[in-house]
Structure 1
Amino acid sequence: MNGQRRSAIRAGLEVDIVLKQDQRTCKTTRGIVKDILTNSPNHPHGIKVRLQDGQVGRVKRILNEGGATD
């Protein structure tokens, strides 16, 4: 599932994101969502999130519900 709809993303989901510095190469980083930073319901480049380790990027793929929700 892609990460363009805010309603599909919530804290605790395991996702692949693209960090700002990786936008040209589309290199993804995997992690667990801590916070959702995009306020709009949809975004064509992916919803911006903060991972539990503090990294910020746009969601490219939602993997599963592997993480625990807080």
Structure 2
Amino acid sequence: MDGKKRADIKVGALVDIVLKKDQRSGQLTRGHVKKILTNSPNHPHGIKVMLEEGNQVGRVKNILNEE
């Protein structure tokens, strides 16, 4: 699943995100969702989240599992 719909993303889910500094290269960072930062129900570039690992912030590209 891609990360464009807020309803698909749950706190604790394992996701791949693109950090702001990695937007050009497209490098993905994997982690568990700590907080969902985007308020709108969907976003064309992916829902913005904060990861539990290192409090990194980025946009969800892939949802790997839901917990």
Q: TM-score, normalised by structure 2?
A: 0.95
Aligned to 2:65: 64
- The alpha carbon displacement at 1:65 in A equals 2.8
Aligned to 1:49: 49
In structure 2, what residue type is equivalent to 1:56? V
Structure 1 runs, 4 residues or longer, greater than 6 Å off: none
| C-alpha distance in 1 between matches for 2:32 and 2:42 | 20
| C-alpha distance in 1 between matches for 2:45 and 2:34 | 19
In structure 2, what residue type is equivalent to 1:32? H
Identical pairs, percent: 67
- The alpha carbon displacement at 1:17 in A equals 0.1
Instruction: Write out aligned runs for 1:1-70 (5 A).
Output: 1-53=1-53, 54-65=55-66
Alignment root-mean-square deviation, CA: 0.8
Q: TM-score, normalised by structure 1?
A: 0.91
Q: How many residues align?
A: 66
Extract unaligned runs of 5+ from structure 2.
none
